[in-house]
Amino acid sequence: MDALTDLGKNVGRRSGVASSREHVFDSTLDLHRPLLLDFLGSRALVRVLVEAGLERDREKCAVLGRELERLFEYLLGASVHSFEGTSWECPQPLGRAMTDSARSLRSVLFRSLQAVLAPLPVRWFKKVPGAAFVYTTVYRRLKPHGETEVECLGHRLHVHAHDEGIARQILVKGIYEAAESRFFETWLRPGMGVLDVGANFGYFTVLAARAVGEKGAVHAFEPEPGNFALLEKNLKTNGYVDRAHAHNVALGDAPGAALLFTDPANLGNPSLAKDNVPDAAGSVRVAIVTLDSMLDRLPKIDLLKMDVQGFEACVLAGARGLLERDRPTLLLEIWPKGLRRAGDDPVAFLEGLVALGYAMHALGDDGKAAATIAVHELVDACDRRADGEEFQNVLFVPRA
């Protein structure tokens, strides 16, 4: 038995394939052995892509991409479907055994994909011609389906595998926004109070809940119903309901209600401004409250983290009392184009925070405050970007 067969059988056992059915996995593995070995050697493919990118040989990258797509069309299309009985009626229980084996094979391949891609920076895929195409093709073939649970930084998180935003990064790289994650883990202390505004399924909420401990408090705000359901589930799964409180409302500068526009492919992209969701396919009516209306129910807040797709200025306009009372540190996503589409001037918004006594800092890779940033420098830098990332997470530290 070689290492490849041993790996497949171990995965098969963990996924519930009985030992009496291992011959089925052997047959499946033997059938696809050349293709599987090709994929497990995909570090060589990455090297070729890098070389092709450095040579600016787009044709070579395109050929590689088409070949890889053909490989996975066969391996994970025809094979899995045939096991499930769509093109070959396989008698039970053999059919179920082969289906389980095919899914085990998918799991082996997906973990191999993670091993190849995890060390690579996201920007690499945009700079190397053909790399993004190959990555997207392979990821969509191998990713889990539906709601799935993933281990992430010591937590068990439920995510929707079809989400092309935060969930995709966690499934492939095991972490989301590494510098911000390090900041949560190193800056927060037991007993602190945290607001997570735009909590999504609770990635930063659970990091905060662990860091502040039983004597601390976290309030997470997420208006989108599907994300909110996962947020509540993740708090329960990780045992944080004693210190973390989830609120299914949007925040703004005045109480009321509005339409929240959603992107089915990127579940981290809902916004109250339709122009900020270019692929909006639906909307849901949500309640809006202000942070100041909750002031008497909130503990002292040490950190306010916010990512609300261009509505940051609107939310803080309804939190002036909180800012004056607690002087919290702010971790905000600054997206000038999104702020403008929401009706706010990004320069005026940032200058207003500076006038309130906040210093703007970039966040270093180590999760610590780095150099200070000037307002116009930040806005101009974001506006100049043409890579789809016209935003920056900024740390606002209150001056003594």
Q: Note down the domain range covering 306.
A: 176-398
Residue 102 and residue 180 share a domain? no
Residue 136 and residue 188 share a domain? no
Place of tokens 């690579």: 120
160 within a domain of the structure (yes/no): no
150 within a domain of the structure (yes/no): no
Residue 166's closest CA among 197, 203, 198? 203
Q: Which two tokens stand for residue 67?
A: 């070949």
**pLDDT of 165:** 85
pLDDT band for position 124 (50/70/90)?
low
Domain end call among 142, 167, 189 = 142
Residue 263 and residue 308 share a domain? yes
> What is the average pLDDT score of the chain?
78
Residue 112 and residue 191 share a domain? no
Residue 225 and residue 86 share a domain? no
Residue 132 and residue 60 share a domain? yes
More confident residue, 279 or 229: 229
213 within a domain of the structure (yes/no): yes
Residue 138 and residue 13 share a domain? yes
More confident residue, 232 or 162: 232
Segment 248-260 mean pLDDT: 97
153 within a domain of the structure (yes/no): no
158 within a domain of the structure (yes/no): no
Residue 223 and residue 331 share a domain? yes
Q: Which two tokens stand for residue 255?
A: 């109480």
**pLDDT of 7:** 36
162 within a domain of the structure (yes/no): no
Residue 101 and residue 28 share a domain? yes
Query: Residue 2: pLDDT above 60?
Result: no
Domain end call among 119, 142, 165 = 142
116 within a domain of the structure (yes/no): yes
Q: What is the DSSP string of 13-65?
A: HHTT--GGGHHHHHHHHHHHHHHHHHHHTHHHHHHHHHHHHHTT-HHHHHHHH
More confident residue, 32 or 262: 262
Q: Compute the CA torsion angle 88, 91, 95, 97 (nearest 10 deg).
A: -150
pTM: 0.74
Written as one letter, the residue type at 227 is N
**pLDDT of 400:** 79
Give CA angle at 115 (112, 117), nearest 5°. Answer: 105
In the chain, the number of structural domains is 2
Task: Give the tens place of pLDDT for each residue, 192-246.
Answer: 999 999 999 999 999 999 999 999 999 999 999 999 999 999 999 999 999 999 9
Q: At 291, which CATH number?
A: 3.40.50.150
More confident residue, 43 or 332: 332
Residue 310 and residue 194 share a domain? yes
Query: Residue 332: pLDDT above 70?
Result: yes
Domain end call among 100, 120, 142 = 142
Residue 263 and residue 115 share a domain? no
Residue 298's closest CA among 319, 277, 270? 319
**pLDDT of 91:** 33
pLDDT band for position 334 (50/70/90)?
very high
> Which residues are 282's β-sheet partners?
262
pLDDT band for position 394 (50/70/90)?
very high
CB under 8 Å to 386, separation ≥6 — which residues?
Answer: none
**pLDDT of 168:** 84
% of the chain with per-residue pLDDT over 90: 51
**pLDDT of 280:** 72
Tell the burial category of 252 from Cβ atoms under 10 Å away from its Cβ (0-12, 13-18, 19+): buried
Task: Give the tens place of pLDDT for each residue, 73-105.
Answer: 544 444 433 333 333 233 333 333 334 444 555
Query: Residue 191: pLDDT above 50?
Result: yes
Residue 215 and residue 129 share a domain? no
50 within a domain of the structure (yes/no): yes
